[in-house]
A and B are shown apart, each in its own frame.
Chain A
């Protein structure tokens, strides 16, 4: 698991590079986020917005591909295919339903899966479209999970189990439940999207529930 401390905010471009040649659009994007960049690509065929996205995500997708394939040629094929899908199908991205990074990740995962199946020449068989609802990320329901928990109970029963959580989830839980920060504050502090904060809390609560059940049995 990667540490989430002291890394630049992933859903925003790195700090603006001093560039007197920069167009208005470029400035706009650098000061905003990838969701907006993708929307520009979809609505205005904005090439500079796409170039920003590409320059940020392509090397990271390559690193992911290297880990998965262990081979540069296939990793690059995956990057090209993924980023081509991002370009061609930008119109399908819906910022109200999830982060840009999640959308791009799921495209890369599906591209990789289908590349592997194709290599095994199994055309009629299971495809990424069967396994993952394409372009569909169900909007998480309201934070029922978290609100069902009595805060005092959490402190007493759950805090001891925080140590068993993966570091990224533990960090979020400590900030929310021990330091009583809001989700937005945690999102800003850790430079991760709000949706990811909520996701990590739900994952942590599920693990803690398992830990408690385990202790009871």
Chain B
């Protein structure tokens, strides 16, 4: 990637991701960011090493668990050959199917490939299109496509909004975001993201509550809320 990624999840989210304690939907956005960002990939690796070392070093009290029984159970099972184990762990690389929207093809990061292959129908509204991913219970996870020169109506967030740019570029009042950049907006933030005249944009959007549109007529457009959520 030619540019440096500027917006990262931050140490705390990376730590919770490595521990496996984030909710699945938020973890998905963090995992996809890590796929795109060598810096966070390295940090994530280091955090995992550190956590594993802590796990292995913790003192344990002797207890009454019947370990011998479990040990015998396990060793009664056959071991797998390297190849069989790799197949079971889905290690064999599969060619990624591109996502097609607006006659454009996009290849999504590894973390999203399986889910994106089963995305819901694209719903179009003006220059914007969304498709739900079969993920999540607390959060709504979708792909968001914004055509060139298009503005998403100004909105605030009733909950947490995470947007990961997968391809192209968007700008809002606070800056410019390119592939790999992760925007996290809390209920206090208001913004009007838009694309520039020369470049469209594909994002992953993770929402914990519907957006609330602030301006003029769009405020009255309840269906718009449904569209985004």
Contacts and interface: CB of A to CB of B under 8 A. Distances in A.
A206 B79 contact: no
A151 to B, nearest CB: 21
B74 A54 contact: yes
Contacts, number: 192
Contacts of A117: 24
A202 B46 contact: yes
B133 to A, nearest CB: 9
Contact of A10 (B24, B56, B70, B88): B56
Nearest to A10: B56
Query: Interface on chain B toward A: helix, strand, loop, or mixed SS?
Result: helix
Nearest to B53: A196
B54 interface: yes
B7 to A, nearest CB: 14
Chain B, interface residues (CB within 8 Å), range: 35 or more
The A interface, classified by DSSP as helix, strand, loop or mixed, is helix
B86 A10 contact: no
B60 interface: yes
Interface in B187-211: none
Nearest to A92: B85
A44 to B, nearest CB: 11
Interface stretch (B37-45, B99-107, B121-129, B165-173): B37-45
A198 B74 CA distance: 34
B118 interface: yes
A203 B50 contact: yes
A118 interface: no
Interface stretch (A23-31, A133-141, A152-160, A178-186): A133-141
B59 A7 contact: yes
A115 to B, nearest CB: 11
A203 B46 contact: yes
Contact of B20 (A10, A110, A192, A200): A110
A89 B74 contact: no
B4 interface: no
B45 A199 contact: yes
B11 interface: yes
Interface of B: 11, 17-21, 24-25, 27-28, 31, 41-43, 45-60, 62-63, 65, 67, 70-71, 73-75, 77-82, 85-86, 88-91, 110-112, 114-115, 118, 134-137
Interface of A: 1-2, 4, 7, 10-11, 41-42, 45, 47, 50-51, 54-55, 57-64, 68, 76, 79-80, 83-84, 87-92, 98-99, 101-102, 104-106, 108-110, 112-113, 117, 120, 122, 124-138, 140-141, 168, 192-193, 195-196, 198-200, 202-203, 206-207, 210
6 contacts: A1-B54, A2-B57, A59-B63, A79-B70, A92-B85, A138-B42
3 A-B pairs with the lowest CB-CB distances in the bound complex, closest first: A105-B52, A199-B46, A10-B56
Given A87-B75, A106-B52, A131-B111, 16 more contacts: A10-B56, A58-B67, A59-B60, A59-B62, A62-B63, A80-B73, A88-B77, A89-B80, A89-B85, A91-B79, A98-B49, A99-B49, A109-B19, A113-B20, A122-B24, A131-B28
